[in-house]
Amino acid sequence: MKTLPQVLDEARKCVKCGNCMAQCPVYLETLEEPFVARGKLGLIEAVGEGDSEFSKRFSKILSLCLLCGTCAENCPNGIQADEIIRQARSLFVEERGLSLSQKTIFRYLLDSEQLMPLLLKGGVSLQHLFLEKIPEESGLRLRFPVPFIDQRRLIPPLAQDFFLDLHSGWVRAEKEVKRVGLFVGCVSNYLFPRISRAALDIFLHHGVSIYIPGNQRCCGLPAFGSGDEQTPLSLAQKNIEAFADEDLEKIVAPCASCASMLKLNYPLLFDESDPMRPQALTFSSKVTDASQFLGQFLGQMTISGGQGRKAKRVTYHDPCHLRRKLGIFKEPRSFLKALPGLEYVEMREANRCCGQGGSFNIANYDLSLKILERKIQAIEHSDADVVATACSGCLLQIMDGLHQQGLKKEVRHLVEIVDQATLL
């Protein structure tokens, strides 16, 4: 973890040119200086120089950031404002501690081996007591108000069977050409097992054997983005151990946010002196997002027959974690353009953040919906039947946005579309 003087040094490099203002999704909706990168970096400087302190207001202003990286992408001085803001959140947590709700969710739920699966298993049979079916949707909504969750929100039902309860250990391909590990992620495990199943289908079809540790855990990103470094470190240790026993060429994560956490942030959690650091670096070097893996390894084999009648129009939303953090944006489009039966149409501002931002959309639901509105308008303007993306958070957010606007469109993970279109 960086120290306050180190974070201050980084923040001071901002020359306050304001280039980041025109693109920041939060600033564009609020038009308030403290909410753009420049304002937040100024506040961090003030705290670093002793002119201000780690107050509740400091924490509130820093929390109004999606960590989308749009400011960093557009900064002529190469300032990684999103990373500096995240580090400042960690310094705040170090100084003032987590809130009670954060502590309960991160330390006692996410980081507990038994509690989260147990609670969610109970939730499968009890969910209809708390949630009611939205007649025109496949989703649910709260029957009565509960803290932290807005009653308007579309909530996907928990899966009857969690992915990791059905699939763990080795799943061998008939004619094995490669061996990889699969990092499932919470959304695919508990809500949409069909995503990991699609990845499994594609890999097996192409001779890729898959190792799925049954004891893998949450990647830790929700806690990490909120400034808690202790929970993600504990989860990282467990995930690295879970994949350690097998000789794997790659560890593939279908969710772009998980992939970015495992690849880019795990190395930050282990100090130079940590004996587990070399193992963490090896683990992270093997992690790859599913669309990159498909592009590099399966691309030519998978994509065949892009001709013929086009039954559906599909558009693609770039997850921030995939495009800005991992630099992947060509592969998903190449797949979608070449798949049989699909007509690809680029939506306007496809790389604009959808407003999900981890816990941002829970704590700031109205603002998150405002940011999402532009994305939904772009989707509507594209006239696509199907919206593809590659991150579980974006998937949930876009489903909710379409529901709020009363629009009927399929929202699918890229691997589901590739699976359906190529393996029929």
Whether 322 contacts 388, CB under 8 Å: no
CA dihedral 305, 307, 312, 313 (to 10 degrees): 110
Q: With respect to ligand SF4, which residue has the nearer C-beta, 13 or 277? A: 13
Distance CA(118)–CA(115), nearest Å, equals 5
Q: Do β-strands 178-182 and 208-212 pair in parallel, antiparallel, or remain unpaired?
A: parallel
In the bound state with ligand SF4, the residue whose beta carbon lies nearer, of 70 and 239, is 70
CB of 380 to ligand SF4, least distance (A): 24
3-state secondary structure of 231: helix
Long-range contacts formed by 276-282: CB under 8 A, 24+ apart: 276/237, 276/240, 279/240, 279/244, 280/236, 280/240
- Tokens representing 13? 């490099």
Q: Residue 77 or residue 307: which is nearer to ligand SF4 going by CB?
A: 77
Query: Residue 45 Cβ, how far from ligand SF4 at the closest point, in Å?
Result: 11
Measure the CA–CA gap between 206 and 177, rounded to whole angstroms: 8
Rounded Cα distance, 424 and 421, in Å: 6
CB 107 within 8 A of CB 230: yes
Q: Which phi and psi angles does 319 have, rounded to 5°?
A: -70, 140
Q: Quote the tokens at residue 159.
A: 């899966």
Min dist CB 23 to ligand SF4, Å, is 6
| Site of interaction with ligand SF4 (CB under 6 A) | 14-20, 24-26, 36-38, 65-71, 75, 77, 79, 81-82
Cβ pair 48, 4 in contact under 8 A: yes
When the beta carbons of 293 and 360 are compared against ligand SF4, the nearer one is: 360
Instruction: Provide the minimum distance between the beta carbon of 363 and ligand SF4 in the complex, in angstroms, as a whole number.
Output: 13
As measured in angstroms, the least distance from the Cβ of 80 to ligand SF4 is 9
Query: CA-to-CA distance for 134 and 131, rounded, in angstroms?
Result: 9
In whole angstroms, the minimum distance from the beta carbon of 357 to ligand SF4 comes to 7
Closer to ligand SF4 by Cβ: residue 302 or 364:
364
Minimum CB–partner distance for residue 222 and ligand SF4 (Å): 16
Q: Which residue number, 25 or 227, has a Cβ lying nearer to ligand SF4? A: 25
Nearer to ligand SF4 by Cβ, of 37 and 210: the residue is 37
Phi-psi region of 168 (alpha: psi -120 to 50; beta: other; left: phi over 0): beta
Instruction: Give the residue with the Cβ less far from ligand SF4, 39 or 220.
Output: 39
- What are the tokens at 356? 């999900």
